[in-house]
Amino acid sequence: MKICVLAGDGIGPEITDQALRVLHALDLKFDVTEAPVGGAAYRALGHPLPDSTLKLARESDAILFGAVGDFSLDTLPRELRPEQAILGLRKELNLFANFRPALVYPELVQASSLKPEVVAGLDILIIRELTGDIYFGQPRGIRTLANGEREGYDTMRYSESEIRRVAHVGFQAAQKRGRRLCSVDKANVLDTMQLWREVVSEVGEEYPEVALSHMYVDNAAMQLLKNPKQFDVIVTGNMFGDILSDEASMLTGSIGMLPSASLNEHGFGLYEPIHGSAPDIAGKNIANPLATILSAAMMLRYSFNLAEAAERIETAVKRVLAQGFRTSDIFEPGAKKAGTIEMGDAVLAALS
Ligand code: NAD
């Protein structure tokens, strides 16, 4: 099992270190390679996603990704900014399906800004299409109109095959969970989304055991706050998924707890916490490494088919929370304050 570790910027190296410690503690054999990405790669090699990094990523079976982002490089041309690395990896490796579970741990119910009864026991999965939609559609740009005024424009596009393949991913994920899939679109206003709804419905005929529903994105944004437990799996396009998955992450109360996976059709995946490089807390040993540790568990499950090993990690994380260990982002009075390394230590101890 070849794992390419792209730690990136800010807290990236600190949190991937802890995830690697956990992986190495399992009785499995990994071949680990590391390469620079994001701002670190720009500084070292002049590009946020250097060819050498992309080559290593391609030669691996899975990528463990930390985070990219460095405010001091925000004035660079867009193609050289650290965040371009993650967009480039998604595009180059065809990572079209983004899995974002949002799970509320009983011990962290109070961390949510919603009422405990609304979020207690929440366990939903958002699948966001990641390589199409208005983020990649052409034409796009800023042009000057005949009257001298500037106009910005982007293009929302989805081909039938792009919709079909992510719909299959959604149905298959729902098959393994509660067998309910909600497709989120804006078919009442956008032609692209009308096609989305038609194609998802067609694919649904192949999965009669999964209950398919459709919801407009504005309603979905409301329902996620009003009654999030009504959902099992949500499948949606790139832009709507971007917004809804961040909203859903806040139901759980902590950005430092949530893992994600971005997969291609062969099960190759990039696994990363949903948060960014958190430059405000980098290098202080206070970042929560659990989202990255849980991303490593997702890697074992989805890329290496090692569900049991993944569960070992997930159970260890539940155990350390039950034991009262908390990094500062999820700290509450009476808990045991842990730094990044101490949280890694606690997970290692809980594994055994
Ligand atoms: P962020 O997610 O980095 O941080 C938001 C807030 O959450 C900060 O207060 C931070 O301290 C806190 N936080 C984040 N992760 C944490 C953790 N593991 N433990 C404890 N606290 C944590 O978002 P931001 O501040 O808006 O962006 C910082 C940089 O990250 C930017 O350059 C942005 O572009 C980039 N970014 C990268 C990714 C990615 O690599 N996939 C995603 C989002 C943002």
Average pLDDT, the chain: 95
163 CA distance to ligand 1 middle (Å): 30
At residue 253, does pLDDT exceed 80? no
Q: Kindly report the protein residue whose alpha carbon is nearest to atom 20 of ligand 1.
A: 287
CATH number at residue 176: 3.40.718.10
Given pLDDT bands bounded at 50, 70 and 90, which one contains residue 250? confident
Q: Between the CA of residue 140 and those of 91, 152, 153, what are the distances in Å?
A: 17, 8, 5
- One domain, residues 312 and 331: yes
Given pLDDT bands bounded at 50, 70 and 90, which one contains residue 274? very high
In a domain, 259, yes or no: no
At residue 195, does pLDDT exceed 90? yes
Q: Is 345 a catalytic residue?
A: no
10 CA distance to ligand 1 middle (Å): 9
Separation CA 127–CA 138 (nearest Å): 24
Tell me the residue range of the domain where 155 lies. Answer: 102-254
Phi, psi of 245 (to 5 degrees): -70, -30
The CB of 64 under 6 Å from ligand 1? The reply is no
- Residue 27 has what pLDDT? 87
What pLDDT, in 10s, does the model give residues 130-189? 999 999 899 999 999 999 999 999 999 999 999 999 999 999 999 989 999 999 999 999
Residue that is last in its domain, among 232, 254, 276: 254
Q: Kindly report the protein residue whose alpha carbon is nearest to atom 36 of ligand 1.
A: 276
Number of structural domains, the chain?
2
What pLDDT, in 10s, does the model give residues 282-314? 999 999 999 999 999 999 999 999 999 999 999
120 CA distance to ligand 1 middle (Å): 25
- Residue 237 has what pLDDT? 98
Given pLDDT bands bounded at 50, 70 and 90, which one contains residue 110? confident
Residue that is last in its domain, among 230, 254, 278: 254
Q: Which residue bears the tokens 């690697």?
A: 20
Q: Kindly report the protein residue whose alpha carbon is nearest to atom 29 of ligand 1.
A: 69
- One domain, residues 30 and 123: no
- Residue 288 has what pLDDT? 97
pTM, 2 dp: 0.91
Q: Which of 244, 217, 233, 248 is nearest to 171 (CA)?
A: 233
